A = this chain, B = another copy of it.
């Protein structure tokens, strides 16, 4: 910016909507049409993925960043602190990397209770120790009362890619098998149930957990034959699969009966009018693998605590204008779209 070049809002100014943070189609548009073009040459080609590969001599390092604004900050199965650790570890893991170090940057609203801050930092610490990673650096900013809603937590992560791992959203190939590491929809439905006071709290909890050990087990048995790994957070499994299908120029066909939706998740989605395929997850991954390794990868996944309910949910088929379809229970086929707009704000 040149000095004093503050843009004056026009009468009909385009404005950021909640849906721009959904992880779905509006998020992708904001990135593709506003943020990346504005960054210009500073944005790496293909940048703004959840994790970026950085070559330092012979080392393949991965860097990622994520800010957590979840509301409420405490929910069954986790809190904003553990979620911030798991979320960034998982962004690294989806690039095939094990975590080396995390940073922790807090934006705190004036008047925030010190006890709650302490509890959240303890949760960060416990989650990091359990995952075997350290918080090496941090930052704390305080803004005035009313200038933030309590606490926002950013974690950035540095990881090192496993030998033999080279997952990428562009590598899904016709014939590949689509795997999911566990039941879907738990995180989003738990946070929403807690926020609006639905009485499901005893039956449901977030799936928030670190996935790097699961990834390590998968890469150990199949290496490069693991073509894609993604954690279906905001926008859910549907948005993630649409992104993969688009990046690879293929179609993905799901089997509705194979998709693991827990009964309570289905019930909450029914009440709230949500599609479980659009609901955020924080402790499961979607993998697209070569057909010849599908069984061995599934077995390796099921041998870990994080992946014991892993299953195959679909196949990659020949390209079509429609990216993701689902063979339904009743034998028909329906289109599975990306999430458009926002259905669950501040879910992570």
Contacts and interface: CB of A to CB of B under 8 A. Distances in A.
Please state the number of chain copies in the assembly: 2
Nearest to A17: B110
A21 B40 CA distance: 33
Interface of A: 1, 3-7, 9-10, 13-21, 27, 30-31, 34-35, 38-44, 47-52, 54, 56-57, 59, 61, 63-69, 72-74, 76-79, 81-82, 100-101, 103-129, 133-144, 146-149, 152, 154, 156, 158, 160, 201, 205, 342, 345-346
Contact of A42 (B110, B129, B205): B129
A47 B135 contact: yes
Contacts of A128: 39, 42
A242 to B, nearest CB: 18
Contact of A16 (B35, B114, B149): B114
29 contacts: A1-B120, A3-B77, A4-B76, A7-B113, A15-B110, A16-B111, A16-B112, A16-B117, A17-B142, A20-B142, A38-B119, A38-B124, A39-B121, A39-B124, A42-B125, A50-B137, A50-B139, A52-B101, A52-B136, A61-B158, A65-B138, A65-B156, A67-B107, A67-B139, A67-B141, A69-B147, A143-B149, A143-B346, A148-B148
A164 B264 CA distance: 59
A155 to B, nearest CB: 9
Given A13-B113, A38-B121, A47 B108 contact: no
Contacts of A27: 140
A19 to B, nearest CB: 8
Contacts of A158: 54, 61, 63, 158
A231 to B, nearest CB: 13
A197 to B, nearest CB: 14
Nearest to A142: B21
A74 to B, nearest CB: 4
B61 A56 contact: yes
Contacts of A107: 67, 69, 107, 152
A118 B38 contact: yes
A42 B138 CA distance: 12
A124 B48 CA distance: 14
B21 A140 contact: yes
Nearest to A118: B38
A82 B34 contact: no
A138 B77 contact: no
A7 B147 contact: no
Contact of A112 (B15, B147, B148): B15
Given A14-B115, A100-B56, A31 B140 contact: yes
B54 A136 contact: yes
Contacts of A82: 1
A56 B139 contact: no
A113 B14 contact: yes
Given A1-B122, A105-B154, A20 B140 contact: yes
A187 B153 CA distance: 26
Contacts of A140: 20-21, 27, 30-31, 35
Contacts of A136: 44, 47, 52, 54, 63
Contacts of A346: 141, 143-144, 147
Given A20-B108, A134-B44, A135-B42, A114 B69 contact: no
